[in-house]
Structure 1
Amino acid sequence: MSTPISPTEFMSAAPKSVSGSSPWAARYAIELRRVFLDHAARAPRTLQQHLGPSELGVECDRQVVGKMAALPTTNHVADPWPSIRGTALHAWAADAFTEDNERRGLLRWVAENPVVPHPDHPGTSDLYDAVEQSVDDHKFLGESSMAKIRKGWPRKYLVQLLLYGLGYLNLGLPVRRVVVAAYPATAASLDGLYVRDHEFTSDGYTLLPENVDLLELVFRQTAERRALADQVLAGDLRIDAVNASPDNDECFFCPFYRPQSAKDSGPGCPGTAAASTPNG
């Protein structure tokens, strides 16, 4: 069971004031950070209205329904720096694999390719390996997240990769396995790179039964969540009436997380903080 995070802990995790060697340097640091934050807030992924494969596997109905309904953000604490870093590293990786094709005179790697596993939820797959017939996703992770991926598949990652794999099957390309390549983003070397694979088809084209079952479940959940989002938009349903699945790994980065709402009944979802209140 996740340990609840209190509103005090939540606020203490807010970005600290940047600093410098002099009053001028401290002021300049604020200006530099502003440019990063403004640019991150206007990134295509941030402004994206539809949900892609990376979000459909999230277990919390409330988070996904809120995104589908495009509700206003209430979480103003989560810092975009990990996302900024991840975006830059993804671009670097795409260049690296594309140039590997050129250096070797082969067309093995297909980087950053659009796929459509579901008509309403297209996405962009990080990498397709034509030699291994695998669909790969780059994850640039801190050590705690690296430890979790070594233990097993987080559901949202597995769903994301199955959807990407289905997208490539829809393009007529064979996919034998799906892969998460977890890179140690905060380590001093690539020695900690960890790869987790999952068999996708029996012959490149025939989905294994367990993958069919999970994809069908996700598509049913997606349709149900869309229906709930429509009710929220029509004013027939309050978002706090939608089922929530509090989780420390998800709540802090959820756009609707606001632990204070457990006490003041204001906007936002209390998430894990609800467990620390008498009525939670």
Structure 2
Amino acid sequence: MTSVSEFMKAAPARLEGNTPWASRYAGELRRVVVEQANGSARNVQRHLGPSELGVPCDRQVVGKLAGVPATNHVADPWPSIVGTAVHAWLADAFTAANAGLDFPRWLAEQRVVPHPDHSGTGDLYDAKESAVVDHKVLGESSMAKIRSVAGPPIKYIIQLILYGKGFRLMGLPVTRVALAAYPRTAASLDGLYVWERATGPQDDALIEEVFALTGRRKQMAEEIISGRLTLTDIPTSADDSECFFCPFYRPQSKRDNGPGCPGPNS
């Protein structure tokens, strides 16, 4: 039996306000923001771009390809909203920085097509450095991972080299990809950190492996669509770092056998 204290800990935190009216109004503001975020093109798209093809978990990617309804209603959209707003500001800033140059150096928000079925938008191309840059607006724990010896998660690296491939297919030289990590919760830009690696045709074999894996995941998605498989028939990743923001994460499904994914090794 659940105790009162356990029940209260599990209950959503009360929205802040200095009066009952303010608390109620905070709820109204939050509702509009969340509904807009959940209905945005980014969240309802069935098309998977370079940012998603490198996710290690088959179940997450296959579920998205199959259009499985989301069951994770816990993840807060605010980090994504902040990231989208910062990306738009940075695009304007780098585009404006071309003013007065003999030749434009910065190409922001460029549509690229590393694979006919999986286009995406590259955040920034630097013509002077022949570099492709991806902006990430990250919290402290994610920033720490980027700064660690291990470096960025594989999904970020795959995303970078796919963008690099897309720009190369446009005829632009790309010798380097870089992840620019901006601190989302800091009071200054002092925490800005850049991770980079060389790229080029030497990455084409890895890119073909990613496309082959995507092809196998598409076949599994078709099995789900046809009803021959369910989401839980698809293997999960052993790493749970992707779970919290996965649209299909629902830990209680392990207990009630309801929809959703309870997590790794399930």
TM range (shorter): over 0.9
**Partner residue in 1 for 2:3:** none
TM-score, structure 1 as length reference: 0.88
**Partner residue in 2 for 1:27:** 24
**Partner residue in 1 for 2:214:** 222
Identify unmatched segments of 5+ residues in structure 2: 1-5
Name the CA distance, whole Å, in 2 between partners of 1:13 and 1:133: 50
Q: For 1:56-135, what aligned pairs fall within 5 Å after superposition?
A: 56-104=53-101, 106-135=103-132
**Partner residue in 2 for 1:269:** 261
TM-score, structure 2 as length reference: 0.93
Conservation of the 8 A alpha-carbon contact between 1:54 and 1:157: yes
User: Greater shift after overlay, 99-108 or 229-238?
Assistant: 99-108
Percent identity (aligned)? 60
* AA of the residue aligned to 1:159: I
* AA of the residue aligned to 2:87: H
Post-superposition shift, 1:248?
3.3
Any idea what SS the aligned residue of 2:69 has? coil
Any idea what SS the aligned residue of 1:79 has? coil
**Partner residue in 2 for 1:156:** 155
Post-superposition shift, 1:197?
0.6
Any idea what SS the aligned residue of 1:122 has? strand
Post-superposition shift, 1:82?
0.4
Post-superposition shift, 1:104?
4.1
**Partner residue in 2 for 1:233:** 225
Post-superposition shift, 1:42?
1.9
Post-superposition shift, 1:56?
0.2
Does residue 48 of the first structure (1) align with residue 48 of the second (2)? Answer: no
Structure 1 residues 165 and 40, CA, compared in 2 at 3 Å: closer, same or farther? same
Deviations 1:58-77 (A, max 9, x none): 00000000000010010010
Q: Which has the higher contact order (CA 8 A, sep 6+)?
A: 1
Aligned-pair Cα RMSD in Å: 1.7
Count of aligned pairs: 258
Post-superposition shift, 1:34?
1.0
Structure 1 residues 159 and 38, CA, compared in 2 at 3 Å: closer, same or farther? same
**Partner residue in 1 for 2:171:** 172
Name the CA distance, whole Å, in 1 between partners of 2:129 and 2:167: 14
Name the CA distance, whole Å, in 1 between partners of 2:9 and 2:241: 17
Conservation of the 8 A alpha-carbon contact between 1:247 and 1:271: no
Q: For 1:201-220, what aligned pairs fall within 5 Å after superposition?
A: 201=200, 207-208=201-202, 211-220=203-212
Post-superposition shift, 1:13?
7.9
* AA of the residue aligned to 2:178: V
Post-superposition shift, 1:21?
0.5
Post-superposition shift, 1:180?
0.2
Does residue 253 of the first structure (1) align with residue 245 of the second (2)? Answer: yes
* AA of the residue aligned to 1:176: T
Name the CA distance, whole Å, in 2 between partners of 1:69 and 1:142: 30
Post-superposition shift, 1:181?
0.4
Q: For 1:135-154, what aligned pairs fall within 5 Å after superposition?
A: 135-151=132-148, 152-154=151-153
Structure 1 residues 227 and 14, CA, compared in 2 at 3 Å: closer, same or farther? farther
Post-superposition shift, 1:15?
5.6
Post-superposition shift, 1:103?
4.9
Any idea what SS the aligned residue of 1:116 has? strand
Conservation of the 8 A alpha-carbon contact between 1:136 and 1:181: yes
Name the CA distance, whole Å, in 2 between partners of 1:249 and 1:12: 23
Post-superposition shift, 1:247?
3.0
Post-superposition shift, 1:242?
0.7
Structure 1 residues 262 and 188, CA, compared in 2 at 3 Å: closer, same or farther? same
Name the CA distance, whole Å, in 2 between partners of 1:255 and 1:12: 23
Post-superposition shift, 1:80?
0.4
